[in-house]
Structure 1
Amino acid sequence: MRIKDFILVCITTAIMFPMTTLKAQNMEKEKQLPEYLSAFPLGEENVQYARFFIGKSYLAPLTSNKDLNTPVCNVTFEPGCRNNWHSHTGGQLLIAVGGKGYYQEKGKPARLLLPGDIVEIAPNVIHWHGAAPDNWFSHLAIECNPQSNKNTWLEPVDDEQYLAATSQSNTLSAEAAKNQATWYSSVNDKLAVSDPELTKISGNFAFGEVQKYSNLDTRTRILVTMASAITANAKTTYLQTLHAALSNGITPLEIKEVLYHAVPYAGMAKVEEMVEIASKFLEDRGVKLPLAPQSILQPETRQEKGLALQKSIFGDQIDRMYETSPENQLHIQKFLSANCFGDYQTRPVFDIPTRELLTFAILISLGGCEPQVKGHITGNVNVGNDKLKLLAVATQLLPYIGYPRTLNAITCLNEVIPEK
Structure 2
Amino acid sequence: MKNVIVIIFLILLNQLLLGQKTLKYNADMKSFTDKGILASKDRFTGTVWINMNVLPEDGYNSNVGTVTFEPRARTNWHSHKSGQVLFVIEGTGYYQIDGQPIRVMNEGDVVKIPKNARHWHGASHNSKMRHIAIVTDYDQDKTEWFQPVTNAEYDKFRAPVYEVENRLSVRAIKNYEELWPEYPSNEKEMDPDLAEIFLNFAYDEVINNNPMDVKIRTMVIMASTLGSQALSEFKMFVNAALNIGVTPVQIKEVIYQSVPYIGKAKVKDFLDATNGIFIERDIKLPLQSQTTTNPETRFEKGYAKQREVIGDRIEELYKNSPEDLIHIQKFLSDNCFGDYITRSGLDIKTRELITLSFLISLGGTESQIKGHIQGNKNVGNSRQDLVNLMTNLLPYVGYPRTLNAINCLNEILPYKKNDNTDIKAN
TM-score category (smaller protein) = 0.7 to 0.9
Does structure 1 residue 382 correspond to structure 2 residue 371?
no
Residue 192 of structure 1 deviates from its aligned partner by 3.3
Residue 282 of structure 1 deviates from its aligned partner by 1.8
Counterpart residue number, 2:85: 91
Inter-CA distance 182–96: structure 2 relative to 1 (3 Å threshold) = farther
Residues 364, 373 of structure 1: 8 Å contact kept: yes
**Residue 282 of structure 1, aligned match among 265, 278, 281:** 278
Counterpart residue number, 1:340: 336
Is 101-110 or 335-344 further displaced after alignment? 101-110
**Residue 401 of structure 1, aligned match among 397, 406, 420:** 397
- Secondary structure of 1:152's match? strand
Inter-CA distance 192–158: structure 2 relative to 1 (3 Å threshold) = closer
Residue 402 of structure 1 deviates from its aligned partner by 0.8
Task: List aligned pairs for 1:251-262, cutoff 5 A.
Answer: 251-262=247-258
Inter-CA distance 377–96: structure 2 relative to 1 (3 Å threshold) = farther
Inter-CA distance 75–330: structure 2 relative to 1 (3 Å threshold) = same
Counterpart residue number, 1:354: 350
- Secondary structure of 1:71's match? strand
Counterpart residue number, 2:214: 218
Separation (CA, whole Å) in 2 of partners of 1:298 and 1:42:
49
Residue 162 of structure 1 deviates from its aligned partner by 4.7
Residue 140 of structure 1 deviates from its aligned partner by 4.2
Cα distance per residue 1:64-92 (max 9 Å; x no partner): 78769753355558xx8765333452234
Separation (CA, whole Å) in 2 of partners of 1:179 and 1:392:
16
Residue 258 of structure 1 deviates from its aligned partner by 1.3
Residue 165 of structure 1 deviates from its aligned partner by 4.5
Residues 381, 387 of structure 1: 8 Å contact kept: yes
Residue 206 of structure 1 deviates from its aligned partner by 2.1
Counterpart residue number, 1:144: 134
Separation (CA, whole Å) in 1 of partners of 2:94 and 2:411:
51
Is 331-340 or 119-128 further displaced after alignment? 119-128
Residue 181 of structure 1 deviates from its aligned partner by 1.5
Task: List aligned pairs for 1:12-411, cutoff 5 A.
Answer: 46=40, 50=42, 52=43, 57-58=46-47, 60-61=49-50, 70-75=64-69, 83-87=75-79, 89-92=83-86, 106=98, 107-109=100-102, 121-124=111-114, 126-129=119-122, 139-140=129-130, 142-145=132-135, 148=138, 151-158=143-150, 160-162=152-154, 164-167=156-159, 168-172=161-165, 173-175=168-170, 176-184=172-180, 189-411=185-407
Inter-CA distance 197–105: structure 2 relative to 1 (3 Å threshold) = farther
Q: Identity of paired residues, percent?
A: 39
Query: What is the TM-score with the length of structure 2 in the denominator?
Result: 0.74
Residues 38, 49 of structure 2: 8 Å contact kept: yes
Separation (CA, whole Å) in 2 of partners of 1:191 and 1:58:
23
Is 162-171 or 279-288 further displaced after alignment? 162-171
Inter-CA distance 45–143: structure 2 relative to 1 (3 Å threshold) = closer
Separation (CA, whole Å) in 2 of partners of 1:42 and 1:296:
45
Residues 43, 58 of structure 1: 8 Å contact kept: no
Separation (CA, whole Å) in 2 of partners of 1:378 and 1:130:
52
Residues 48, 73 of structure 2: 8 Å contact kept: no
Letter in 1 for 2:384: L
The size of the alignment, in residue pairs, is 367
Query: What is the TM-score with the length of structure 1 in the denominator?
Result: 0.75
Separation (CA, whole Å) in 2 of partners of 1:349 and 1:218:
18
Ranges in structure 2 where 5+ consecutive residues have no aligned partner: 1-33, 417-426
Q: RMSD between aligned alpha carbons?
A: 3.5
Cα distance per residue 1:318-368 (max 9 Å; x no partner): 112112222122111110110111111111011111111101111100111
Inter-CA distance 322–169: structure 2 relative to 1 (3 Å threshold) = same
Letter in 2 for 1:393: L
Letter in 2 for 1:396: N
Residues 85, 112 of structure 2: 8 Å contact kept: yes
The structure that has the greater radius of gyration is 2
- Secondary structure of 1:203's match? helix
Residues 360, 376 of structure 1: 8 Å contact kept: yes
Residues 39, 50 of structure 2: 8 Å contact kept: no
Inter-CA distance 294–162: structure 2 relative to 1 (3 Å threshold) = same
